[in-house]
């Protein structure tokens, strides 16, 4: 039996960064990383591959670079963990022991519980290169595509396929809002309008009851009887934590997620969990939050890797955040927005401002819309939504997420200095964060 100082199960963003952190901070440690598949795609950019904007060979996930970091890399499935003896067992019958184990086992697609999902032409998200290449061929030959689910992944597929491949697409969302429910009414309505202007039919409050077909899918049947013809169905209704190893090892779990402390240690002290498999908590109010996005997984990996030699980096909670693109416009959010704040009973105020993504107007500046959410009384910043046609949206979302994590108030936001440069930032006389803070204080 071979022994390693650190064993990492899973080579996704959490596992990758855990290895990188261990090898950077503790180069003397022997590290083994096991991943069950070898040829993978970067998940977030699969819609660009399917739409023909990226070749599959240019979108390969760099899992093999783990060996370049100095880790021993094996493409093998781990079938069980023995916490009492600090050992793992692989599918081929190999046995390895460890001082520290990092579980970064990722996600599984949430399954649609209706008849017909086993028909040909029905796909869940799968980031294997083979599956993506097959999906590219399927989309290219399809005439009518139904996408079940209206979250970020569905929006990305619908937007890009409709714009660049001109397919007939129907998005079917069970709730009354697309975008995973994180955008307020005006932002969500704008996203819907942009999709519809590209020819996408968007159905909200629509529940799938059956997928029909003889061998291959032919239609999606909705509650109420509507029948939507489709020769390809993409089901993107969320993810579940891939926590079977943890459950079988009797680690403490909550709703399928591995429960961890603020140093990402599980209920067994020398086993850490990171990424999609771990239970996260919101930095806004401390409530449990799934955090099943690559950015959180990448952060978790760094924390877990650093903490394999002892608790040195603390998880301060996550700020929910994300960016998507519809019709060439970018929509982003950070923290808690209107629907969630209302549902949680917060007393808040939304303050909006329209600025520009550059200056002066003659240089080609385009509108930038920002809404900030402040708690009444304390003035604490707890969330934001932003829309613009420039890539300035992503760094602005990152900035706001950092400010929300710090618990900054509207008064403190007024004193913040923001860099200004004509082609790439809002004008110094109309800086959106500070203007929204001023609007809150004025009210």
SS3 state at 331: strand
Q: Which class for 277: exposed (0-12), middle (13-18), buried (19 or more C-beta within 10 A)?
A: buried
| Closest to 15 in 3D by CA, of 274, 295, 315 | 274
Hunting for tokens 């503790």 — which residue is that? Answer: 26
| pLDDT band with cut points at 50, 70 and 90 for residue 75 | very high
What confidence score (pLDDT) does residue 145 get? 98
Percent of the chain predicted with pLDDT > 90: 98
In this structure, what token pair is assigned to residue 327?
């019709």
In this structure, the number of other CB atoms found within 10 A of the CB of residue 306 comes to 21
What confidence score (pLDDT) does residue 125 get? 95
- 244 vs 43: CA distance, rounded Å: 22
User: Using CA of residue 253, residue 255, residue 261, residue 265, what is the dihedral sign?
Assistant: positive
Percent of the chain predicted with pLDDT > 70: 100
| pLDDT band with cut points at 50, 70 and 90 for residue 290 | confident
Helices vs. strands in the chain: H and E counts, helices first: 12, 26
pLDDT over 90 (residue 391): no
Q: What is the pLDDT of residues 8-54, one digit of tens each?
A: 999 999 999 999 999 999 999 999 999 999 999 999 999 999 999 99
Q: Identify the architecture of domain 2-36+76-107+240-309 in CATH.
A: 3-Layer(bba) Sandwich (3.50)
SS3 state at 38: coil
- Average pLDDT of the segment spanning 155-170: 97
- Average pLDDT of the segment spanning 60-82: 97
38 with 25: CB under 8 angstroms?
no
User: At 132, phi and psi to the nearest 5?
Assistant: -70, -40
- 154 vs 147: CA distance, rounded Å: 7
Q: Where are the domain boundaries for CATH 3.30.390.30 in the chain? A: 331-442
Q: Which residues contact 264 (CB under 8 A, 6 or more apart)?
A: 272, 273, 274, 278, 300, 303, 304, 307, 315
Q: Find out if CATH 3.40.190.10 is the number for domain 331-442.
A: no
Q: Where are the domain boundaries for CATH 3.50.50.60 in the chain? A: 2-36+76-107+240-309, 111-237
- Average pLDDT of the segment spanning 408-434: 96
User: DSSP code of 278?
Assistant: B
Distances (CA, A) of 38 to 70, 120, 128, 132, 353: 18, 25, 8, 14, 47
Q: How many CA atoms lie within 13 A of 365 on its CB side?
A: 21
User: At 298, phi and psi to the nearest 5?
Assistant: -60, -40
Indicate whether this model's pTM tops 0.85: yes
CA 67 to chain centre: 26
SS3 state at 156: helix
Q: Under CATH, which number does the domain 111-237 receive?
A: 3.50.50.60
Helix axes 152-164, 185-197, angle to 10 degrees: 30
What confidence score (pLDDT) does residue 414 get? 95
Q: What is the pLDDT of residues 341-378, one digit of tens each?
A: 999 999 999 999 999 999 999 999 999 999 999 999 99
Q: Which residues contact 51 (CB under 8 A, 6 or more apart)?
A: 160, 161, 163, 164, 165
SS3 state at 45: helix
Please state, rounded to an integer, the average pLDDT across all residues of the chain: 97
As a whole number of Å, the CA-based R_g of the chain is 23
| pLDDT band with cut points at 50, 70 and 90 for residue 135 | very high
- 337 vs 282: CA distance, rounded Å: 13
In this structure, the number of other CB atoms found within 10 A of the CB of residue 25 comes to 16
SS3 state at 437: helix
In this structure, what token pair is assigned to residue 314?
């603390």
Element (H, E) at 375: strand 367-375
What confidence score (pLDDT) does residue 411 get? 97
| Closest to 73 in 3D by CA, of 25, 26, 20 | 20
């Amino acid at each position: 039996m071979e022994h390693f100082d650190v064993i990492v199960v899973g080579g996704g963003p959490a596992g990758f960064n855990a290895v990188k952190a261990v090898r950077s901070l503790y180069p003397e440690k022997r590290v083994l990383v096991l991943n069950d598949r070898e040829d993978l795609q970067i998940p977030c950019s699969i819609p660009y591959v399917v739409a023909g904007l990226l070749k599959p060979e240019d979108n390969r996930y760099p899992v093999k670079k783990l060996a370049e970091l100095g880790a021993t890399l094996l493409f093998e499935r781990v079938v069980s963990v023995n916490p009492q003896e600090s050992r793992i067992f692989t599918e081929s019958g190999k046995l390895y022991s460890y001082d520290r184990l990092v579980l970064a086992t990722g996600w599984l697609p949430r399954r649609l519980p209706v008849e017909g999902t086993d028909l040909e032409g029905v796909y869940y998200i799968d980031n294997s290169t083979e599956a993506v290449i097959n999906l590219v061929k399927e989309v290219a030959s399809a005439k009518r595509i139904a996408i079940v689910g209206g979250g970020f992944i569905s929006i990305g597929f619908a937007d890009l396929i409709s714009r660049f491949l001109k397919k007939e697409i129907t998005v079917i969302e069970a709730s009354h809002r697309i975008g995973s429910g994180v955008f307020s009414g005006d932002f969500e309505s704008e996203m819907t309008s942009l999709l519809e202007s590209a020819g996408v039919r968007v159905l909200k409050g629509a529940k799938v009851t059956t997928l029909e077909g003889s061998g291959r899918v032919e239609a999606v049947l909705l509650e109420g009887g509507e029948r939507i013809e489709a020769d390809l169905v993409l089901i993107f209704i969320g993810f579940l934590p891939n926590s079977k190893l943890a459950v079988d090892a009797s680690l403490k779990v909550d709703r399928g997620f591995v429960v961890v402390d603020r140093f990402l240690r599980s209920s067994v002290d020398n086993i850490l969990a990171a990424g999609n498999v771990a239970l996260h908590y919101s930095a806004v109010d401390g409530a449990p939050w799934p955090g099943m996005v690559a950015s959180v997984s990448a952060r978790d990996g760094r924390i877990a890797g650093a903490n394999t030699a002892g608790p040195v980096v603390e998880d301060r909670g996550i700020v929910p955040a994300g960016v998507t693109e519809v019709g060439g416009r970018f929509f982003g959010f950070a923290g808690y927005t209107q629907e969630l704040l209302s549902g949680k009973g917060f007393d808040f105020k939304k303050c909006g401002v329209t600025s520009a993504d550059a200056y002066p107007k003659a240089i080609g500046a385009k509108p930038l819309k920002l809404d900030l959410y402040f708690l009444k009384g304390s003035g604490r910043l707890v969330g934001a939504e932003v829309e613009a046609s420039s890539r300035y949206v992503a760094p602005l979302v990152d900035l706001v997420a950092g400010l929300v994590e710090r618990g900054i108030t509207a008064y403190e936001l007024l004193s913040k200095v923001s860099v200004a440069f004509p082609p790439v930032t809002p004008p110094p006389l109309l800086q959106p964060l500070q203007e929204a803070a001023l609007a809150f204080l004025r009210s």
